[in-house]
Amino acid sequence: MAADSATAHIAKEIAIPALAMVALGIWPVLNYKLGGGLMPHGLVYLAIRLVVVGAAGFMVTHRTKSGVGAAAVAGAAMFLVESLTVAVWFAIDGQLNAAIGVAKSFAMFVAVPTLVGALGGFIGRAWSKRGHAAI
């Protein structure tokens, strides 16, 4: 019973970053459909994605009693949300090979958001130990 409560609390904490990742998944698709001009530079877009993933890890450890491992899982979950969003858009558009490519990309690069989530969780845990109130 306590595990269900902890899982629900973690899910609540990463809800806003998950919504941000859905938006970040839709953004490039809309940019393509509307003929371009909506996207910032590629490095800026990547930095925004990494900040959201790190924030998810931070919130998991800072606002809950969870450890850095849960923050790493939260980072991977954020990447999964974004990947599923993009893959569903491609599948709806009839581009099944592109959707399969997104799944392959997820499998190849899931370690990066996992590490970024863990780093955010490490920072969140250190922030909590210094006595900072939950944001």
DSSP class per residue in the chain: -HHHHHHHHHHHHTHHHHHHHHHHHHHHHHHHHTTS-----HHHHHHHHHHHHHHHHHHHHHHSS--HHHHHHHHHHHHHHHHHHHHHHHHHTT-HHHHHHHHHHHHHHTHHHHHHHHHHHHHHHHHHHTTPPP-
pLDDT at 115: 97
pLDDT at 25: 82
**pLDDT digits over 29-83, tens only?**
777 777 777 666 678 888 888 999 999 999 999 888 788 999 999 999 999 999 9
**pLDDT digits over 89-113, tens only?**
989 989 999 999 999 999 999 999 9
pLDDT at 38: 67
pLDDT band at residue 1 using 50, 70 and 90 as cut-offs: very low
Most confidently modeled of 23-27, 34-38, 98-102, 124-128? 98-102
